[in-house]
Chains A and B, each alone.
Chain A
């Protein structure tokens, strides 16, 4: 199956700093990528849909200015958590869809565990 990578896998940062998480589709072009957040022992919650070359679409309740998403190319989307606080500590997972018609599946990255101290 297709491969999606995320970097870093784990990050610890101090409160008030910003953290950037990268999501790459390694062997296919993804016009659409998705960012999810998962708190311990809970389900995945969609934060935003990232579209190459256009602004991301955020889900209700997600702060656009806090979670900056940039889909700069067909293989890379980044999520920047700005002015992070301890409540932003979570597991962030991205996914990507192959071009329409090639697969029904969304391929997930391995996730990034963010801890804000």
Chain B
């Protein structure tokens, strides 16, 4: 069974607008962590944001925020004020013990 589901293969957004990238997860663990990574065409994996399962508040890092809905098992990434440089693949991941399990990714294209 898929542990991390990203249902949007591709998303388009106009520059300066906000965009939400969806992520749902499946786990029976009480303690887990959720991550979002950005992968530009160069291939490097850039850490964006982290949410712990016990964190009561949604994580925020600059223009990135994580909409964590524990009961729904969703951890959507919100990017505010999109920039052209935000065009990339975005991966949601969950930490199981020491491992990271990745979703299939969403390709975000920011249009000028």
Chain A residue nearest to B4 in the complex (CB): A43
The count of chain B contact residues (Cβ–Cβ below 8 Å) is: 20
Contacts A43-B91, A43-B105, A44-B91; is A106 near B43 (CB within 8 Å)?
no
A1-41 with Cβ < 8 A to chain B: 1, 32, 34, 38
Tell me whether B47 and A44 are in contact (CB under 8 A). Answer: no
Find chain B residues with CB under 8 A from A49 CB. 98-99
The count of chain A contact residues (Cβ–Cβ below 8 Å) is: 22
Q: What's the Cα separation between A113 and B44 when bound, in Å? A: 11
A/B pair count, beta carbons within 8 Å: 50
Find chain B residues with CB under 8 A from A113 CB. 43
Tell me whether B43 and A111 are in contact (CB under 8 A). Answer: yes
Interface of A is mostly: strand
Find chain A residues with CB under 8 A from B104 CB. 42-43
**16 CB < 8 A contacts A-B:** A34-B99, A42-B104, A43-B103, A43-B105, A44-B100, A46-B101, A91-B43, A93-B43, A95-B45, A95-B100, A104-B35, A105-B35, A105-B47, A105-B50, A106-B35, A110-B44
Residues of B within 8 A of A (CB): 33, 35, 37, 42-45, 47, 50, 52, 91, 95, 98-105
Residues of A within 8 A of B (CB): 1, 32, 34, 38, 42-46, 49, 91, 93, 95, 97, 104-108, 110-111, 113
